[in-house]
Every structure is written in structure tokens, then in C-alpha cells.
Amino acid sequence: MLITAMRGYLTYGWYKLDVDAGKTRLFEVLSLYMSFISGCLWGVTILFMDFKAYPEASVFLNMIVFGLSAGSLGVGSFWLEHFFIYNITVFIIYSLGYLLGLPEPSYLLAILIMFFLVLMIQIAMSFHRSNAQNISLNKRNEKLARNFNHQKQEAEKFGASRTRLLASASHDLRQPLQALNFFLSALHPELRSDKGREIYSKLEKCTESINELLSSMLDVSKLDAQVVTLNNEAVCMDSLLKGLKQQFQMQADNKGLTLVFDSCDRYVYSDAVLLRRVLSNLIVNAISYTKHGKVEVRVNQDDGLLIEIADTGPGLTDHEQEYIFEEFYQLDNPERDKTKGLGLGLSIVKRLCLLMAIPMNLNSQKGQGSCFSLRLPMCDVPEAVKEPPKIEARTITENKKILIIDDEVTIRESLSGLLSQWQCQVAAAESAEEACQILERDGYRPDLIIADYRLREHKTGVEAINKVKQLMGNDQLPAIIISGDTEPSRLKEVASSGYELLHKPVKPAQLRMLIQRKLMP
């Protein structure tokens, strides 16, 4: 009992102290020494046996001693040194006792005890190996789990860093490009010579190419932010396909390709804008990678409406098909030619199809072209909707007061010039405070507010619009937010504000249509 209490106290003290390598080694030596003493004490119990005078008590004592030895297998298989010291000490003392005649000679018992010791050692060694393997496996699993968590955290950090980088770079690029678009639009009516119009046309094509690249980056950010909403309706496939054929016919002719579209008079239930984007990306991809032959858009009715975009291009290997839908992955474009895009088209297609629940399949073989197929749900022909009366654009915007809030002077100047050409009365401010000063000083009462989302001193266009509306006491004042931000968190914040959002670079025609809709009586 004393030895057991001392071992318990030693273990308790070791766990309570701040241990180091020296203290750990001292604890091990003392523990082994106490195991040896404990083995000696249990071993000398043979001196108290007398099978003739006290047979039942002697048998009971043997059962206790060897029962404790057998019970030590579980713990001893982990701490093998303690098992050996304790049990070898007990068994040797007992074997010597029976051999020397304490209390009387019994050679058979001495031999059986030694066989029992050998058996226990083998079992303990087997358990020890199994435990060691289990511990090693657990340690390896823990290490793999830590590595996995570390890699996951690194991937999440990289993803967040990439998103922030793209958002920051996109915003910084969109600002001057937006001003350039507005200046070009304002410049066009001032051109008088054929040479000037030719230069203008080339500038317009350059800006349009940059606009398309930035729009692709914006689409990815909007999908990441989950702010893309579905507007499902009955879509006339005939009208949609005719528009796509007209859009891409010249591009196909320039490459000497035959562009074939099937006719279809059926309606499908889908989002018209997003469906057109999916089909456009697939057709652009087919034309871009096809050098000879044709591109076909086939339509078949089979458990829904099956649309296939097939080409006679180079085709894809199984390996290429695994990565073709990943972001920034492109085939045969190691030089990263910007005219071939960013490698986002098919990534956007896949994510839009998942959003709209449209099954998509790819069938391709190297050297035999590719075929993308979409299966759309059909619906009945919708009832005719009476068109609203047409109002001239100039009539809607003429003499309307529009307040611009933007901290970029180039945006304020270019947008002011463009709106003035549309016969609007424009006031521009760089902040909500300056806008309120204009209202109070000049008695200016705008019919519409156009505000940039990101303003100085970490303020937003949403806050600026709300402040102006509060000053005017007009909660129904229409407003438009123009944003160059593509960071998902910011897109969510703008979407939750309830204001109409346009993403830079905004095309003048797009802006004018929205202004007309907002000012429509």
C-alpha cells in the first residue's frame, strides 16, 4: 500500500510540475525503481504459503499474485519496461521458491510459472507492437489532419487574397476606363472629319475589348457573392437563336467558318439574360478554337429541349476535359493573348448552369471536335402582353435635374458632359456633404441621383444618397449607384441597399436607358 501510494504521489507531482527532459528522465528512473520494489514485495509472499496447513489461503494468494501479473498486460503493453521489471521479479522469486522448497519443493509449478512468464512476455510484446502501430497511425492521421487544415487555411487565404486583388485591380482599372467611355461618347457628336471618325472607331474597339475582359471578372465576383438572382420566364428560343446568329455571324465569316443555327418555335422556362450569356460563351468558345469547318447550334426535342453547340475544332483529351471549366484555364494560349479572353468563359457557363439548374454535358474527342449540350425545360406560349406607349428619349431627359456624387474628378467631368448633351441640368459633388451644401445654397432639387459606391474616408454612395434624400424629405427620389468594386462582400452590401446598381465601365447607352426608366412618369 505504501509503495502504491508513493507511485501515485510521484505521478501526481510529475503532472503538476513544469517538466523538462531532466525531470522526465528522473520520473522514469524512480518509477522503474518502485516497480522493482513492488515486484520484490509481491514475490516474497511465497514465504507465507503452506499448501498443507493452509491450502485454500495459499491457492487464493497464488491467484491474486498471478492475477495481478496477468492484469498488468493491458497497461504493461504500453510501458514495456515496467511490465518486464515487475513481472520478471515476481516470477523469478516464485520459481526459485518452488525450486528451493519454500514452503516445499514443486518443480512442476516452477516450470509452469516460467512458461506462463514467457507466454505473458509474448502477449505483451504483441500488444506493444499493435499499440505502437496504432499510436503511429494516430500521430500520422493527426499530422495529416493538421497539414490538411493548414493547406485549407492557406487555400482560403489565397482565395480571399485573390478576390481582394482582383477587386482592387478591377476597381482601379474601371475608374479611368469609365471616364474614357463617357468622354468618347461625348466626343462622338463633335467629330467632323472622316479621319477623326476612323480614329474614334479604333478607340471604341479598344475600350470595348477591355470592357469585355472586365465584365468577365465582374461575372465571377457576382457569382462568388451570390448576388445573381434568377428571373425565370417564358423565353422564345426562335428570337433568342436569331439574335445570337446575327451577333456571331460576322465573327464566323471572318474566320471562314460556317455558322449553322437550327430554327425552333418552342418556349423554354428560364432566365432569358443568363441563358443568352451561357449560349453566347459556348458559341464564342466554339468559334475561337475552330480553325476550319463549321459551328452548329442544334435543337432537338427530347425530354425537354436539347440544345447542342458542336464544332469541328481540335477536340479535348480526357485530361483537358477535367480542367476546361476551371477559372483562367486556356488551351493553346501560353502567351496569354488577351484577344483569346481570360479563360473565364466556360467557368462562368458551368456556374450559371448550376445556378439555373440546367444539366450540361460535354462530348469531345481529340481531333474530332467538341459538343456541349444543355437540356432546358419547355413551357407553353405566354399570353400576349400589350406594349407600353413609346416616349422619345429626349423628351424624358430634357431639363431633368441630375445630381452626381463621385470623388473622382474625371468621372464627374465626363459624366456631366455626357448628361448635358442629353439636355439634363447637372450638379456634381465629390461627397455627401458637398451635395447637401449645393442643395441648401442653390435650392437645387434633383430628379435623380447618380452616386459612386466607394467614396473617400470609407464612406459609400448608399450613405450619400440616404443623406440627400433625408435632407430633401423625399424617400421616393430615384437613385442609381455606379460601382467599380467586384469584391463579393461589397456586391452583397450594394445589393441589400435596394438601389439600382450599374457596374463600371457603364456603356452610355445602358446608362441612358436606365435613367429614362427611372424618370419615366
Q: Minimal CA–CA distance to 396: which of 233, 516, 247?
A: 516
Dist. CA 485–CA 453, nearest whole Å: 8
Q: Minimal CA–CA distance to 178: which of 425, 517, 511?
A: 511
pLDDT value, residue 465: 92
Phi, psi dihedrals of residue 232, rounded to the nearest 5°: -70, 140
- Residue spans of the domains in the chain: they are 2-105, 172-227+392-521, 233-344+351-379
pLDDT value, residue 140: 81
SS (H, E, C) 154-197: HHHHHHHHHHHHHHHHHHHHHHHHHHHHHHHHHHHHHCCCHHHH
Dist. CA 248–CA 280, nearest whole Å: 9
Whether the Cβ atoms of residue 171 and residue 205 lie closer than 8 Å to each other: no
pLDDT value, residue 2: 66
pLDDT value, residue 404: 92
- Which pTM does this prediction carry? 0.46
* One-letter amino acid for residue 410 of the chain: T
Residues listed for the chain: 521
Dist. CA 63–CA 67, nearest whole Å: 5
The three-state secondary structure class of 300 is strand
Query: Residue-wise pLDDT tens for the chain (521 aa)?
Result: 566 666 665 665 555 556 566 666 666 677 777 777 777 877 777 777 666 666 777 777 777 777 777 777 666 666 777 777 777 788 888 888 878 776 567 778 778 878 888 888 787 777 777 777 777 777 788 888 888 887 777 776 766 665 565 556 556 666 666 677 777 777 777 777 777 777 777 776 666 656 655 565 555 555 555 556 677 888 888 888 888 888 888 888 888 899 999 888 889 888 887 888 888 888 888 888 888 899 999 988 877 889 898 999 888 888 777 767 765 555 554 444 444 444 456 777 888 888 888 888 888 888 888 898 888 888 887 776 455 555 555 567 788 999 999 988 888 888 888 888 888 899 999 999 999 999 888 888 999 999 988 888 888 889 999 999 999 888 889 999 888 776 666 767 777 787 888 877 788 888 888 888 888 86
Whether the Cβ atoms of residue 511 and residue 499 lie closer than 8 Å to each other: no
Q: Which residues pair with 41 in a beta bridge?
A: none
The tens digit of pLDDT for each residue in 303-356 reads 788 989 899 988 888 877 776 776 555 555 444 444 444 445 677 788 888 888
Helix (H) or strand (E) holding 370: strand 370-376
Q: What single string gives the DSSP state of each residue in 221-235?
A: HHHHHT-----EEEE
What's CA 416's distance to the chain center, in Å?
Answer: 40
Dist. CA 422–CA 426, nearest whole Å: 10
CATH of domain 233-344+351-379: 3.30.565.10
Dist. CA 281–CA 248, nearest whole Å: 11
The tens digit of pLDDT for each residue in 191-248 reads 777 777 777 777 766 666 566 555 655 555 555 555 566 778 888 888 888 888 888 8
Per the listing, cell 466607394 goes with 454
pLDDT value, residue 338: 44
* One-letter amino acid for residue 458 of the chain: H
**Cα dist from 15 to 124, 161, 175, 281, whole Å:** 26, 44, 64, 66
Whether domain 172-227+392-521 has CATH 3.40.50.2300:
yes
